[in-house]
Amino acid sequence: MDDLRDKYIGLIADAADEAAIEDLRVQAVGKKGEIALKMRELGKMTPEERQVMGPKLNALKDEINSALSAKKTSLADAALEERLRTEWLDVTLPGRGRRQGSIHPISQVTEEVSAIFADMGFAVAEGPQIETDWYNFDALNIPGHHPARAEMDTFYTHRAEGDNRPPHVLRTHTSPVQIRSMEKQGAPIRIICPGRVYRADYDQTHTPMFHQVEGLAIDKDISMANLKWVLEEFFTAFFGTEVKTRFRASHFPFTEPSAEVDIQCKWENGSVKVGEGDDWLEVLGSGMVHPKVLKAGGIDPDVYQGFAFGIGIDRLAMLKYGIPDLRAFFDADLRWLRHYGFASLDQPTLHGGLTR
Ligand code: DAH
């Protein structure tokens, strides 16, 4: 019995986990375990022997049972200790800061412009930045020999050697989206098309990539008066103050008649204030869509007519938020972005207010 005791006390001390403890319990004190087998032998003994061996066996059984449960507790304690050690966390450390990004003023202004025109029933349309010669020029009544082509400092893509088709261009304005939208949805139509445009030009007021928003409204009874109302409504909402406009006769191949539009402003120690004073600042080109352009877009000019306009978004952003140098928009300077950027939750809506 001493051998049995030593054997199990030793095995229990060495058990590595709860499963091993359970195996030992079955082997030692289970129904068919070694102690039970010994108990059965009691029947063959004399009453005197039984009186000595019975209590001894019971005592051994108790001893093994309590060794098992003590070991089980100590294994559980060790596991807990190990978890506490590895999952330790110093709650007194200072928090780790997270850098927050900001919304670029161009993105913000694009959202503002879209919100204002959406309120007047204009949908947002988009087109490709790499355009065919047809959509960027011919369809807009700018034929190959037209001086407007040369004036636009166009970026051309390469064609493979021997491929004589006209090369694709980086669109020089958002006007080609007029044609694509007319083709896609026909008349009536009321859209704006914001997006990137490209011209080979670089100085304080020009960057080779910049942003425009095109407007197009076509129906059976649209006139220049609607154009003027829409633009004044837009500028007043955008600048948050009543803004007068001045229309000057001009020329664009894709509109007839055409007008350049100025907004009322005042110069004050080198910076400009919109909506006061009696100076004028040119901000956009516009006009009644040329019949040839309607035809190119698949719309019958004898039935439909409409207006179009194109505004520089970067220019609008500079005017509204007092940003002096256009080139800084595209320098990706984090200090500039933190200063002029917008919080990501400042979503412009008409009812929420457009300015910060
Ligand atoms: N596409 C012209 C430009 O980039 C701007 C413009 C002028 C657009 C008159 C128009 C328009 O839709 O009617 O300079």
**Per-residue pLDDT of the chain in tens (356 residues, 90 and over written 9):** 888 899 999 999 999 998 999 999 999 999 898 988 888 888 888 988 888 888 998 999 999 999 999 999 999 999 899 999 999 888 899 988 888 889 999 999 999 999 999 999 999 999 999 999 999 999 999 988 887 787 778 999 999 999 988 899 999 999 999 999 999 999 999 999 999 999 998 887 889 999 999 999 999 999 999 999 999 999 999 999 999 999 999 999 999 999 999 999 998 887 888 989 999 999 999 999 999 999 999 999 999 999 999 999 999 999 999 888 889 999 999 999 999 999 887 777 776 666 54
Could you list the beta-strand ranges (E) of the chain: 123-124, 130-131, 169-170, 189-198, 209-219, 245-252, 255-268, 271-274, 279-289, 305-312
| Ligand 1 site, CB within 6 A | 173, 175, 214, 252, 254-255, 285-287, 308-310
The continuous run of DSSP H or E covering 329 comes out as: none
> Is there a contact between 291 and 301 (Cβ–Cβ < 8 Å)?
yes
From residue 167, alpha-carbon distances to 135, 154, 159, 320 in Å are 12, 11, 6, 38
Give the residue whose CA is nearest to atom 4 of ligand 1.
Answer: 173
Ligand 1 atom with the smallest distance to the CA of 175 is: 1
Cα(170) to centroid(ligand 1), Å? 16
Ligand 1 atom 10, closest CA: 309
Distance 286 CA to ligand 1 centre (A): 6
Q: How far is the CA of 67 from the centre of ligand 1 (A)?
A: 92
Distance CA 237, CA 229 (A): 12
What is this structure's pTM?
Answer: 0.74
Handedness of CA 282, 283, 288, 291 (dihedral sign): positive
Distance 356 CA to ligand 1 centre (A): 30
* Residue with the two structure tokens 């409504």: 233
- Give the span between the Cα atoms of 266 and 254, in whole angstroms: 32
DSSP state letter for 354: S
Q: From 192, 158, 157, 185, select the one nearest 171 (Cα to Cα).
A: 157
Ligand 1 atom nearest the C-alpha of 307 is: 13
Whose alpha carbon is nearest atom 5 of ligand 1? 310
Question: How far apart (Å, rounded) are the C-alpha atoms in residues 290 and 69?
Answer: 95
Q: Give the nearest ligand 1 atom to 140 CA.
A: 1
CB 160 within 8 Å of CB 179: no
